[in-house]
Amino acid sequence: MLFDDVIEKIGMIIDAAGVAIIAVGAAIAAVVAVIRLAKHTAGADVYRQFRRMLARTVLLGLELLVAADIVRTVAVMPSLNSVAVLGGIVIIRTFLSFSLELEITGRWPWQKSNTPDVDSSA
């Protein structure tokens, strides 16, 4: 097996992990939302929590998809065309990531939080 083939397989595995995370996360978010609605939780709150959970899932999946593109493009002899395509993909996915971060937290990634991060205690 050649180096290029190994890199391509690694890229495909990372791609598959990204897609799987998005699909499974979306399904989990939907199930959680349905359970919350069944318990007669306020509809607007359920919707907001569903969107946040879904956005986090998509954000994680996008990070893996970008990583897979970088592995495939940089590890194998990059051409000007492949680097340009990768640059376009990274720009689009970065914009999506920033938009999702704004959706999840209500602020841009570079803005400081006024409240302590609850996830940092773990």
Question: Mean pLDDT for each consecutive 10-residue tract of the chain (122 residues)?
Answer: 84 94 96 88 80 88 88 79 83 82 76 58 42
Using only C-alpha atoms, what is the Rg of the chain? 18
What is the pLDDT at residue 25? Answer: 96
pLDDT given for residue 121 in this prediction = 44
User: What pLDDT is attached to residue 107?
Assistant: 76
* Start-to-end Cα distance in the chain: 42
Q: Which two tokens stand for residue 42?
A: 């306020």
| C-alpha separations of 86 from 28, 49, 65, 77 in Å | 31, 33, 11, 13
3: left (phi over 0), alpha (psi -120 to 50) or beta: alpha
pTM of the complete model: 0.73
At residue 113, the pLDDT reads 65
CA 109 to chain centre: 14
Among residues 110, 24, 20, 99, the alpha carbon closest in space to that of 65 is found at 20
Name every residue whose Cβ is closer than 8 Å to that of residue 98 and which is 6 or more positions away in sequence: 108, 109
Q: Cα 110 vs. chain centroid, distance in angstroms?
A: 18
**For the chain, what are the domain ranges?**
3-109
pLDDT score recorded for residue 55: 87
pLDDT at residue number 19: 95
